[in-house]
Amino acid sequence: MPFFTLLFVFLLLADICVRLWLASRQIRHVARHRDHVPPEFAARIGLPSHQRAADYTIARVRLGMVERVFDAVVLIGLTLMGGLQWIDLAVARLVDDDMLRQLLLMVAVFAVLGLLGLPFTLWRQFRLEARFGFNRMTPALFAVDAVKGIAVGLVLGVPLAAAILWLMAEAGAYWWLWAWCLWMVFNVLLLFIAPAFIAPLFNKFTPLSDPALAERIQRLAQRCGFALNGLFVMDGSRRSAHGNAYFTGFGKTRRIVFFDTLLARLNADEIEAVLAHELGHFALRHIIKRVVLGFAGALLFFAVLGWLAQQPWFYDGLGVLPRLDGPNHAMALILFFLAVPVFTFMLTPLASWYSRRDEFAADRYAAQQSSSNQLVSALVKLYDDNAATLTPDPVHSAFYDSHPPAAVRIRHLTTA
């Protein structure tokens, strides 16, 4: 067996074993603390709510375990068992034009992945989320969202893929650098068009109708140096009982968006504190830093892909022929897309730590701009409403969680 194949299999097995070990730790830890509310939350969250959060967390983790094993089987089937090779041959029999053949190959592979993952998506939405009272989506709305998502993906993704494939074929040895530039431009354009043109395809956005709250938020945004161009309420309750708020866009499309479920649960002081946290990410330049890091990472990935695409062992090691009756740059993209998560999984704790560091900083900023007590009050309500466990396993949390555990986060806010 080629060395690259052995390395791929070893890392995939390590990925599965680590994930299952962490998941089992999370299940045991949450179950062990299911019948006792942590002292710092005892006055705010009742035992039934705490038990509901524990049961919800365990159910999600168990589903995730099954899904990860299934995904690994699919990955082996597509690569080492010859699935991609078979799809490529089938597409080649149907289409002669090289560009059209490669685009059709990419669409076919992503369609297969989407169809194979659909049962988990349906189970999560209509069984797990419904069991705990979160799902408000009807099957008809799910289908409409799926059709819209596919349409948007095709309209945006196919031209981008075609442009990258053309660069791979025509731009010479440094095609990957031009492709990276294209990728950056594409993502920057999305920042402009997504809030105004894409998001409204899926949700209804209406201006915030509470003038007192709107004025209060405007003053907060001014204090934070945030040039605000709109306050909107999103009909999140059509799909889920979960609540959230976020800011989005760039330049003149910059806006703050509230889930209607959030406005129904929090008072004005708590809403201001939550927004102060979100604006803290902006004021502390977390967003721009993450964008820069994302582009730097993309440059590294494109450079690695530019090298791997020329290595026959990359294709052979993942179960496909390097060439099939003509250019097959699409196969390099697909293989890279499938293999990268396996090779980068062990970097997850680093990314999680970096994100948690920013969350602590945004909390400190929010405490300066509003009220730490109101932020704590809002967070407790959100933890309760979203059935977020208050007792995660420390190792599992350190590995995965982008936000600090509830008790740690609130301790930092109350002792700052």
- Residues annotated within the binding site for Zn(2+) are 277, 281, 359
User: 168: closest CA among 183, 157, 179, 182?
Assistant: 179
Query: Which stretches of 138-276 are assigned E, i.e. beta strand?
Result: 205-207, 231-234, 245-248, 255-259
What is the arrangement of strands in the sheet containing 205-207, beginning at the earlier edge strand?
A: 205-207, 231-234, 255-259, 245-248
Angle at 279 between CA 275 and CA 284, to 5 degrees: 150
User: 85: closest CA among 339, 314, 313, 315?
Assistant: 315
Residue 71 designated active-site: no
Which of 15, 270, 358, 363 is labelled catalytic? 363
CA distance 36 to 54: 11
Residue 270 designated active-site: no
CA distance 305 to 302: 5
Tokens of 14: 């390590």
Which of 278, 358, 385, 393 is labelled catalytic? 278
CB 117 within 8 A of CB 73: no
Positions at the binding site: 277, 281, 359
User: 202: closest CA among 236, 231, 230, 232?
Assistant: 236
Amino acid at 25: R
Catalytic residue list: 278, 363
